A and B are shown apart, each in its own frame.
Chain A
Amino acid sequence: MSASSASSRKTLSKIACNRLQKELAEWQVNPPAGFKHKVTDNLQRWVIEVIGAPGTLYADETYNLQVDFPEHYPMEAPQVIFVPPAPLHPHIYSNGHICLDILYDSWSPAMTVSSICISILSMLSSSTVKQRPEDNDRYVKNCRNGRSPKETRWWFHDDKV
């Protein structure tokens, strides 16, 4: 993890480029329900529109996810944040950072952008209360220097939401 977090902005390796092209092609044929990839010519940063699932607290609300790919994707996790305004959720900070294990320690190259999206939507859908994490202010203040969420040591203590 050390040498190339998403914030270092190195260009994609050949193998990363190759993989992302395949992922994008697959996405275009078979996008996850509730998500829309906003087409740009930048393979290294995807912006994805999310629509809250019907029957949940976020029904019909629209948010944007920003996905930045590191040089050694998929060996390293992409950086995934909500573009503020981020949904009000106990695991989502107001600066858009998301507390979700698969984005950090539990990332595996077997996962895809599409599987991340599905996990995020499921995290939104299972929420029973619209509120920020308890430590939101402290955390967001700490991130003012432009720190990437991948440089945070996350604690994943709650697997209910």
Chain B
Amino acid sequence: MQDQDVDVDVADAAKETFTSSETDDWKKYKDDDIMQQHSAIQAEQAVKVPFLGDKEPLSSLEAEYHLGNSIVLEKIKVLSEQYAAIRRTRGDGNCFFRSFMFGYLEHILESQDHNEVQHIKSNIEECKKTLQSLGYAEFTFEDFFALFLEQLDSVLQGSEDSISHDELLCRSRDPSISDYVVMFFRFVTSGEIRKRSEFFEPFILGLTNTSVEQFCKSAVEPMGEESDHVQITALSDALGVPIRVVYLDRSSCENNSINVNHHDFIPTSREVGNSDVSKTTNRPSITLLYRPGHYDILYPK
């Protein structure tokens, strides 16, 4: 477990260490030192893990735990029966949104599913109306919406602007595109939560003891804020895109049998595109691997 934490979320781990130390310790450090150390850690993380890594065989996950917890290793074995590969994302607090971005655009690039694109576009149009009706000034979100729609069009082949898989990966690693798409998802997620605040309120109260509005302002809209069930549910519902999340942790079942749990987020409030859930396997097209505090992309066999 320790291995994983160090590898995955250096920046977050560091943040915790700093904030949990008492004020007395604090006086020893100057702001400058701390800020420098903090950005040094971020830079180090950036060199080690790009926003999105290359596709790696699932055995690389096993290698990460070679000295680690046996339950986790057992679970990885179970996982490898169904999944072939993993694509890691940077642990910068945006990993859920970034994984979803790449997973979805890659799925469209490979499936060339024009119906799905029509379907998500009409949902995006709804999201725009939601934000307008909630009082967001159009200029605050329109650039982010436009940029995502551009990416969506470009993964469809056959036009001048069409891009290859390599180019998609490049763009997903380029902050001037990738961060904007992440922010687009944050707008969509926040709009959905606020619009259905009665539905989301009990979950938010349970998590943070804050109001829906405060939650959106502090845990959804700022970049780098991590996502949890609430955000995933809202994004999946708003865009009408099912998401599977597979959980890898040290928990075991009562009878000591090893199971890997997953949860499918199936949009309820909107019509789901037919092709989103494959009829034969009934499985969402996007699968993410969750380890405490972090999401990566999983590829089924």
Instruction: Write the residues of chain A forming the contact surface with B, with a CB cutoff of 8 angstroms.
Output: 1-2, 13, 15, 18-19, 22-23, 26, 72, 74-75, 105-112, 142, 147, 151-153
Contact = CB atoms under 8 A, between A and B. Distances in A.
Nearest to B138: A22
A13 to B, nearest CB: 8
Contacts, number: 58
A153 B32 CA distance: 8
Contact of B183 (A19, A22, A109): A109
A151 B144 contact: no
A1 B39 CA distance: 8
5 tightest A-B contacts by CB? A108-B221, A22-B139, A2-B39, A108-B222, A110-B221
Given A106-B222, A147-B32, A151-B31, 13 more contacts: A13-B176, A15-B143, A18-B143, A75-B175, A105-B222, A108-B222, A110-B140, A110-B187, A110-B190, A112-B140, A142-B30, A152-B31, A153-B34
Interface in B153-197: 175-176, 179-180, 183, 186-187, 190
Contacts of B141: 110
A13 B179 CA distance: 14
A20 to B, nearest CB: 10
A23 to B, nearest CB: 6
A118 to B, nearest CB: 13
Chain B, interface size: which category? Answer: 20 to 34
Contact of B137 (A2, A26, A106, A147): A26
A152 B34 CA distance: 9
A115 B39 CA distance: 28
A106 B217 contact: yes
Contact of A19 (B32, B139, B175): B139
13 contacts: A2-B42, A15-B143, A19-B139, A72-B176, A106-B217, A106-B222, A108-B217, A109-B140, A109-B144, A110-B136, A110-B221, A142-B31, A153-B35
B31 A107 contact: no
Contacts of B221: 108-110
Interface of B: 30-32, 34-35, 39, 42-43, 136-137, 139-141, 143-144, 175-176, 179-180, 183, 186-187, 190, 217-218, 221-223
Nearest to A18: B143
A75 B183 contact: yes
A105 B190 CA distance: 18
A107 B52 CA distance: 24
Nearest to A139: B31
Nearest to B18: A153
Contacts of A111: 140
A158 B137 CA distance: 29
A112 B137 contact: yes
Contacts of B187: 110
